[in-house]
């Protein structure tokens, strides 16, 4: 069986009877087995996925199938899927089985998507390389000596290696867009609150977004259309109506856009030359297509990354306090009393990167440093959002890199956490400001590794962002 570039191609064949959902599932299961060394999946629901496929085939035959019938989906190991393991790739949740479906997962199932398995990630979604998982690193299918990006590395590689058509990941500081860039995929982080977080294991609650990996913009648009929207289970989710992203994608828009790009593309020292050249070339094509393009300076750029890490680690410290060995998950066998049970369960159950971020977050929340770090960072975050929103009064989109480099080698930055954190330099602004952003394939470097381009839009402008992204991919 061939690899399908879009879900639309799959639907056409299903409708004409030249393909069945069971065929599709077997094809993806075969790829999962062939590419098992990539370590993308932690659990594969083989029998269950085949049973789901059989049921969806019957619905298709009877004309009762949902709009995602035949879409094979993988879930990052931070999304609740009832009666299935949920561990956030951590030993601290060893043996935990989800009691319910997260809202996004339930909405996929309601439209007859087929869930094929649970995907590896950085522990508790904390990382930029997918090397901090308790289950080992995920390998990039483009070069097995390189990382796939993090934290949603398994979800990206699963789509890259055709183990599923679409994956759901999470994006707290770039965890969908960076792996999408490293693996040559489309990766969307929607507006904060566009998709319900109910059923998503929390890392930084004011940053976390469920994101989508796909091979095409149209697949991502369709999935977003299904899973976005109001939810009684999440008090932070937006009540704004959900547009028909997939149908709006095909509508012609003759109005030229106003596009800004950050000056760092031209002069940032740490930016890999091939990334600079690829993005500059794409900017020229945007101009040639009749859009207005201006270079801008974002005066707060140097504060975005530290603001993110202060606030995200603070929220992580608070969110992860629930994993204490008492009610569920890992409990140390070396404990002698209640205090030692807490300490030993957490020190033995959490990996080094998670421990590091909990310690950083606890430090900035401590009485002596709360105002100096946490309160100040909250104020800076508000200013960053205001300044970002001001740009969208003048421009439709901001174009920038996603990563300073293409996929780096396994182990290259593990000894220096600061180097690893700098991989998030260009991706965190969208999370700090809460606006939507998308990763798009933008060629390859001299070693054949994928290059990603990032486009950022204003709040709830996903429809416009997806439309422009589709046009961008056709500018070759």
pLDDT of residue 250: 81
- Residue 150 contacts residue 122 (beta carbons within 8 Å): yes
Cβ-Cβ contacts under 8 Å for 341 (sequence gap 6 or more)? 324, 325, 326, 331, 332, 335
pLDDT of residue 44: 98
Cβ-Cβ contacts under 8 Å for 356 (sequence gap 6 or more)? 417
pLDDT of residue 254: 75
Q: Say what the pTM is.
A: 0.96
Q: How far apart are CA 151 and CA 83, in angstroms?
A: 24
Supply 277's token pair.
């050249």
pLDDT of residue 294: 97
CA 68: distance to chain centroid? 20
Q: How far apart are CA 439 and CA 189, in angstroms?
A: 9
Catalytic residues: 76, 151, 175
**Beta-carbon neighbour count of residue 239 at 10 Å?**
8
Helical (H) or strand (E) element with 252: none
Q: How far apart are CA 259 and CA 226, in angstroms?
A: 29
Site of tokens 């603001």? 307
Closest C-alpha among 17, 10, 4 to residue 113: 10
Q: How far apart are CA 196 and CA 150, in angstroms?
A: 22
pLDDT of residue 430: 98
CA angle 214, 131, 417 (to 5 degrees): 115
pLDDT of residue 251: 81
Does residue 399 sit in helix, strand or coil?
Answer: strand
pLDDT of residue 90: 98
pLDDT of residue 126: 98
**DSSP-assigned letters across all residues of 370-385:** IIIIIIHHHHHHHHHH
pLDDT means per 10 residues in the chain (476 residues)?
95 96 98 98 98 98 96 98 98 96 98 98 97 98 98 98 98 98 98 98 98 98 98 97 93 86 85 95 96 94 96 98 93 94 96 97 95 97 98 97 96 90 94 98 97 98 97 88
Q: How far apart are CA 281 and CA 278, in angstroms?
A: 5
User: Domain 7-249 falls in which CATH fold?
Assistant: Amidase signature (AS) enzymes (3.90.1300)
Does residue 303 sit in helix, strand or coil?
Answer: helix
CA angle 159, 275, 283 (to 5 degrees): 100
């Amino acid at each position: 069986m061939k690899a399908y570039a879009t879900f639309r191609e799959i639907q056409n064949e299903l409708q004409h009877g030249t393909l069945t959902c069971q065929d599709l599932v077997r094809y993806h299961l075969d790829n999962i087995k062939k590419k098992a060394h990539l370590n993308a999946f932690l659990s594969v629901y083989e029998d269950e996925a085949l049973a789901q496929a059989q049921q969806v085939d019957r619905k298709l035959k009877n004309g009762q199938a949902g709009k995602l019938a035949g879409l094979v989906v993988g879930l990052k190991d931070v999304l609740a899927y009832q009666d299935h393991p949920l561990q956030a790739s951590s030993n601290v949740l060893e043996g935990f089985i989800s009691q319910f479906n997260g809202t996004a997962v339930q909405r996929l199932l309601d439209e007859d998507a087929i869930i094929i398995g649970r995907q590896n990630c950085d522990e508790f979604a904390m990382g930029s390389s997918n090397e901090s998982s308790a289950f080992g690193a995920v390998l990039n299918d483009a070069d097995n000596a390189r990382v796939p990006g993090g934290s949603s590395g398994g979800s990206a590689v699963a789509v890259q290696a055709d183990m599923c058509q679409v994956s759901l990941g999470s994006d707290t500081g770039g965890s969908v867009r960076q792996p999408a860039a490293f693996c040559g995929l489309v990766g969307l982080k929607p507006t904060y609150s566009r998709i319900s977080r109910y059923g998503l294991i929390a890392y930084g609650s004011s940053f976390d977004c469920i994101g989508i990996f796909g091979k095409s913009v149209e697949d991502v648009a369709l999935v977003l259309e299904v899973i976005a929207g109001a939810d009684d289970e999440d008090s932070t989710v937006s009540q704004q109506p959900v547009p028909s992203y997939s149908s709006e994608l095909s509508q012609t828009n003759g109005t030229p856009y106003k596009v800004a790009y950050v000056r760092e593309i031209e002069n940032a020292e740490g930016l890999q030359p091939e990334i600079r050249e690829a993005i500059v070339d794409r900017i020229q094509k945007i101009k040639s297509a009749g859009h207005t393009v201006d270079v801008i300076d974002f005066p707060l750029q140097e504060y975005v990354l530290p603001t993110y890490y202060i606030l995200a680690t603070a929220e992580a410290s608070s969110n992860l306090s629930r994993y204490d060995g008492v009610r569920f998950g890992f409990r140390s066998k070396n404990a002698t009393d209640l205090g030692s049970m807490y300490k030993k369960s957490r020190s033995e159950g959490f990996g080094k990167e998670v421990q590091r971020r909990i310690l950083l977050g606890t430090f900035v929340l401590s009485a002596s440093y709360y105002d100096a770090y946490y309160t100040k960072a909250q104020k800076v975050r508000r200013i960053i959002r205001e300044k970002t929103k001001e740009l969208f009064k003048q421009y439709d989109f901001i174009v920038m890199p996603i990563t300073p480099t293409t996929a780096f080698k396994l182990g290259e930055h593990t000894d220096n956490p600061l180097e690893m954190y700098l991989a998030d330099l260009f991706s965190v602004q969208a999370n700090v400001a809460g606006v939507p952003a998308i990763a798009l394939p933008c060629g390859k470097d001299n070693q054949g590794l994928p290059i990603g381009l990032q486009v950022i839009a204003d709040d709830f402008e996903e429809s416009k962002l997806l439309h422009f992204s589709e046009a961008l991919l056709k500018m070759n």
